[in-house]
Structure 1
């Protein structure tokens, strides 16, 4: 394909649901060209999650594609590509950490600048379950009653890694708890006022307590907003086929994996988009 032909490329996309998701239909060579990057980034913010069906990225191609979108970032352990699997032969050190992915969350709430998004490619399917679910927290915020928006506008929430681990390990040893708590805490806005001018909800399993509210009232606020944000209009569940790639906006959505057989070998490869915006 010539440069002139690349310059005429148009993004081929179809809406998945009215308030979340789009399916990208361009062939892989067009995606890797970088010519569609600006349109893809714009659509990602609008739709929250983008699906690239049966694109069959190799690891090198997935890194290349991630780079076209504005910046590839290495994983916390230094990998270029992170294997998402509960198989200890694949990912011995991260299995306990990955169990937290079974609950609604935003990646990087302990980081001053969270990652902008992630891309997952399916390599091995589960024997059962294992869909990945997403919720559009931009659209959910937009649809809140004005009275609720006013009530939560300036609230802040304490987030901590150790609270998220209690979802799947409610009775940790003291050593486990101390290790989790060593990762620190962060006080984040409940309503993220983005540099684009849009607003989204900052929720998930790291959310511990609304500052200035009791634990009981905090739970009602946080769980109520999460229930609303993950309800049908804002929710998309992706059933994987080998070769699918899915990208989501980590700054304006929640995600989680649905339960699956931990011994089935389910495997996804993840690359991440470098963040460029602090929580505000």
Structure 2
């Protein structure tokens, strides 16, 4: 795997199927031409890692706006009212609904139970690391789809899936106090195609923990299918585990990548700041 050099920026692949490290001077990251190249490379590599850039919230929002149309996926569950920046933490002094963060321990795509189309991208800055655990894993669902047998692709192409918040919290539902069970019912179920076709014709799987049922299929059969696809997409050939360093900034194409965090101590104060980009189609 060779380093790709472009104007004021270099992209170094980290694995054959997924991920590139972005190397550029910090100031160059706000050059529209460099951002354009990052957008182009994100389309191909799915995950981009910017080591130790130490963005402030204002800088992260500025980069987000250059990359695409900003989407507010923040939550009133956190005490921070910074517009369009969501604090990803299990610290109960900051996050009044840590259940949603616990749900990120499982493979998922952001926004599927609440948006009519998958948000285009997620951008995450490391503000405080966990002493143990806390790595983020990414799965390239473009590559996962493309390596399926042709007969299986044909069987999947026209299926649609209902995504719910309840499905994403099902693995931890028994941890939610009775008084807070209403959190399982927030939002309106959203239906998405199981296979998304990009403008360039490439196809990807739209799967993860929010995927609840397959339209027109018996519940057990549909959930078994979805579980098999997640297992398939999670194999090492299609995945990359990021070992966070202070100040790292990572972007991924939320339409073609599942992600999950390796569990960490709830009291360690781990903190990530997330921004999001709206769907483009």
TM-score between both structures, scaled by the size of structure 1: 0.90
Q: Distance in 1 between matches of 2:122 and 2:174?
A: 28
Match of 1:160 in 2: 164
Aligned partners of 2:11 and 2:23 also within 8 Å = yes
**Displacement after TM superposition at 1:215 (Å):** 2.4
Aligned mate of 2:24, from 7, 23, 26: 26
Q: Secondary structure at the match of 2:48?
A: strand
Aligned mate of 1:96, from 84, 94, 99: 99
Aligned partners of 1:158 and 1:188 also within 8 Å = yes
**Displacement after TM superposition at 1:179 (Å):** 4.1
Match of 2:243 in 1: 239
Q: Secondary structure at the match of 2:226?
A: helix
Match of 1:192 in 2: 196
Q: Distance in 1 between matches of 2:97 and 2:135?
A: 20
Compared CA separation, residues 67 and 254, structure 1 to 2 (3 A): same
Q: How many residues align?
A: 269
Pair 1:149 & 2:147 matched:
no
Compared CA separation, residues 182 and 130, structure 1 to 2 (3 A): closer
Q: Distance in 2 between matches of 1:17 and 1:156?
A: 31
Match of 1:4 in 2: none
**Displacement after TM superposition at 1:143 (Å):** 0.9
Q: Distance in 1 between matches of 2:124 and 2:186?
A: 29
Q: Secondary structure at the match of 1:112?
A: coil
Q: Distance in 2 between matches of 1:72 and 1:112?
A: 16
Aligned partners of 2:73 and 2:111 also within 8 Å = no
Aligned partners of 1:122 and 1:244 also within 8 Å = yes
Aligned mate of 2:49, from 51, 58, 61: 51
RMSD of aligned C-alpha atoms? 1.8
Match of 1:275 in 2: 279
Q: Distance in 2 between matches of 1:157 and 1:70?
A: 27
Q: Secondary structure at the match of 2:174?
A: coil
Compared CA separation, residues 88 and 136, structure 1 to 2 (3 A): same
Higher mean alpha-carbon deviation, 35-44 vs 75-84, is at: 75-84
Match of 1:126 in 2: 130
Compared CA separation, residues 180 and 220, structure 1 to 2 (3 A): closer
Q: Distance in 1 between matches of 2:117 and 2:222?
A: 25
Pair 1:83 & 2:87 matched:
yes
Aligned mate of 2:109, from 106, 122, 129: 106
Q: Secondary structure at the match of 1:169?
A: helix
Higher mean alpha-carbon deviation, 119-128 vs 174-183, is at: 174-183
Compared CA separation, residues 169 and 188, structure 1 to 2 (3 A): same
Cα deviations by residue, 1:37-60 (Å, 9 ceiling, x for unpaired): 221111111111100011111111
Aligned partners of 2:138 and 2:258 also within 8 Å = yes
Q: Distance in 2 between matches of 1:129 and 1:121?
A: 16
Cα deviations by residue, 1:168-220 (Å, 9 ceiling, x for unpaired): 22365666444432412122211112233221101111111112222222122
